[in-house]
Structure 1
Amino acid sequence: MAGDVVRIEDRDRVRTLVFQRPEAANAFNEDLYLAVAGAMAEAADDDGIAVVLLTGTGRTFTAGTDLKEMAELARAHAAGEPAGHGGKGFQTLVEVLTDFPKPLMAAVNGAGVGLGLTMLAHCDLVLMAEDARLLAPFTAMGVAPEAASSYLLPLRMGHQRAALALLAGHWITADEAVAAGLALRTCPAGTLLETAHGLAREIAAKPLASLVATKRLVTEAHRDGVRRAIEREGAAFAELLRDTSAAGTLLSRLD
Structure 2
Amino acid sequence: MGVDTLRIEDRDRVRTLTFDRPRAANAFDEALYLAVAAALDAAAGDAGVSVVLLTGTGGTFTAGTDLEEMAEIARAQAGGRATPETGKGFAALLDALTAFPKPLVAAVNGAGVGLGLTLLGHCDLVIMSERARLLAPFTSMGVAPEAAGSYLLPLRMGHQRAALALFTGRWITAEEAVESGLALRTCPHGELLETAHGLAAEIAAKPLPSLLATKRLITEAHRDGVRRAREREDAAFAELLRRDGAAEDVLARLD
Q: TM-score, normalised by structure 1?
A: 0.96
Q: Residue 221 of structure 2 aligns to a residue in which SS?
A: helix
The count of aligned residue pairs is 255
Map 1:62-141 → 2, pairs under 5 A: 62-82=62-82, 87-141=87-141
Q: Distance in 1 between matches of 2:65 and 2:246?
A: 18
SS of the residue corresponding to residue 18 of structure 1 reads strand
* Segment drifting more, 102-111 vs 72-81: 72-81
- Which residue of structure 2 aligns with residue 223 of structure 1? 223
- Aligned equivalents of 2:126, 2:165: Cα separation in 1: 18
Counterpart of 2:182 in structure 1 is 182
Task: Tell me which residue corresponds to 1:41.
Answer: 41
Return the alpha-carbon distance in structure 2 between the equivalents of residues 207 and 199 of structure 1: 15
CA shift at 1:79, angstroms?
Answer: 2.3
Q: Secondary structure at the match of 2:42?
A: helix
Contact residue 136 and residue 165 of structure 1 kept, 8 A: yes
Matched, 1:152 2:182: no
Deviation at residue 78 of structure 1 after TM alignment: 2.8
Query: Could you list the runs of 4 or more consecutive aligned residues of structure 1 that deviate by over 3 angstroms after TM superposition?
Result: 80-86, 245-248
Q: Which moved more, 1:182-191 or 1:82-91?
A: 82-91
- The answer as to whether partners of 1:143 and 1:246 remain within 8 angstroms in 2 is no
The residue aligned with 1:165 is 165
Question: Equivalents in 2 of 1:90, 1:67: separation in Å?
Answer: 13
Aligned equivalent of 2:50? 50
Equivalent residue letter for 1:113? V
Structure 1: tracts of 5 or more residues without a match = none
| Conserved? CA contact 1:68–1:254, under 8 Å | no
Relative to structure 1, is the Cα distance of residues 248 and 85 closer, same or farther in structure 2, using a 3 angstrom cutoff?
farther
Aligned equivalents of 2:84, 2:117: Cα separation in 1? 21
| Equivalent-residue separation in structure 1 for 2:139 and 2:118 (angstroms) | 14
- How far residue 80 of structure 1 moved from its aligned partner, in angstroms, is 3.9
**Partner Cα distance (1:83, 1:65) in 2:** 19
Aligned residue number for residue 206 of structure 1: 206
Whose helix fraction is larger, Structure 1's or Structure 2's? 1
Aligned partners of 2:139, 2:145: CA distance in 1, in Å? Answer: 8
**Contact 1:71–1:254, Cα closer than 8 Å, also in 2:** no
TM-score normalised by length of structure 2 = 0.96
* 1:12-23 map, 5 Å: 12-23=12-23
Identity %: 75
The CA distance in 2 between the partners of 1:112 and 1:98, in whole Å, is 19
Take 2:185 and 2:85, find their aligned partners in 1: how far apart are those partners?
Answer: 33
Cα distance, 1:76 vs structure 2: 1.8
Query: Contact 1:75/1:251 (CA < 8 Å) preserved in 2?
Result: no
* CA–CA separation in structure 2 for the residues paired with 1:251 and 1:83: 23
